[in-house]
């Protein structure tokens, strides 16, 4: 497969949070990777955070049930390069069957990868794509894969086929929250303040260590640009005023 046909992975160390994780695990910056798709357009399970950045203009459109704006959609709105990368990856994946998806992901993933997070931007857009990632994890037993997902229906359909080196964090606030509770899945939940996390009995993950642990629910503080006048925007202002760490971009 030529380089022009390969998918594009990005360094994990571009983000402060994941950089902390690499340091804690003793993994070199050059051995951690993330994979991105277009936010919203590839997120069939999204509800509370559904937002999309127009492919050409970057203009944000929120879903009718959006309570807070997807942080990665705002990244795409501000950065043409990020937006273009996600769409290039999506265009190469759409229309492929299971075997083809497994092949292109596996051949595109750098050989030196020790830890990989698919879906920093975007999600598992269909069951075939999700199952292809599981297959790649089985082909790479020495690599740790982890993700956040609202495509919980695909997870439930594969509960007995998830490899040991693939950690899944079900993201609350989507169309399939009932499955999270029904199957007692490990869950990550966005909160608007440290006080909300404490009230819910959830530790806040500032370095992805909760995300790569097989068990234990946890909270993520709201982050990203939020619509003016919204409750989410006020929560961001309050955290800034109280010197709460909630943003991790470099």
Cβ neighbours around 60 below 10 Å, total: 20
- Indicate if the pLDDT at residue 250 is higher than 70: no
Identify whether the C-beta of residue 172 lies closer than 8 Å to the C-beta of residue 148.
no
Residue 236 falls inside a structural domain: no
Percent of all residues in the chain with a pLDDT value above 70, rounded to a whole number = 98
Residue 246 falls inside a structural domain: no
Residue 228 falls inside a structural domain: no
**Domain interval for residue 117:** 3-186
| Tokens standing for residue 65 | 């049930």
The pTM assigned to this predicted structure is 0.94
Residue 200 falls inside a structural domain: no
Number of domains composing the chain: 1
Residue 244 falls inside a structural domain: no
Residue 240 falls inside a structural domain: no
Residue 222 falls inside a structural domain: no
Residue 31 falls inside a structural domain: yes
Identify whether the C-beta of residue 217 lies closer than 8 Å to the C-beta of residue 188.
yes
Measure Cα distances from 148 to 19, 80, 152, 177, 233 in Å: 17, 24, 10, 13, 23
Kindly report, residue by residue over 151-207, the tens digit of the pLDDT: 999 999 999 999 999 999 999 999 999 999 999 999 999 999 999 999 999 999 999
């Amino acid at each position: 497969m030529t380089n022009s046909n390969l998918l594009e992975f990005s360094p994990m160390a571009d983000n402060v949070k994941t950089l902390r994780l690499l340091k804690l695990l003793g993994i070199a910056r050059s051995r951690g990777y993330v994979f991105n798709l277009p936010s919203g357009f590839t997120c069939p399970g999204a509800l509370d955070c559904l937002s999309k950045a127009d492919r050409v203009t970057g203009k944000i459109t929120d879903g009718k049930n959006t309570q807070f704006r997807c942080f990665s959609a705002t990244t795409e709105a501000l950065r043409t390069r990020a937006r273009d990368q996600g769409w290039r990856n999506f265009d190469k994946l759409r229309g492929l069957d299971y075997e083809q998806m497994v092949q292109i992901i596996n051949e595109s993933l750098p050989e030196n990868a020790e830890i990989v997070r698919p879906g920093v931007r975007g999600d598992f857009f269909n069951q075939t794509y999700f199952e292809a990632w599981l297959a790649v994890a089985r082909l790479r037993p020495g690599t740790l894969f982890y993700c956040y997902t609202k495509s919980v229906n695909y997870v439930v359909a594969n509960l007995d086929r998830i490899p040991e080196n693939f950690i899944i964090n079900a993201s609350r606030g989507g169309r399939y929250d009932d499955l999270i509770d029904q199957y007692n899945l490990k869950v990550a939940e966005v909160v608007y303040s440290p006080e909300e996390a404490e009230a819910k009995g959830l530790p806040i993950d500032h370095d992805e260590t909760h995300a790569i642990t097989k068990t234990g629910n946890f909270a993520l503080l709201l982050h990203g640009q939020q619509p003016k006048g919204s409750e989410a925007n006020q929560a961001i202002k309050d955290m800034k005023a109280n010197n709460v760490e909630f943003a991790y971009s470099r």
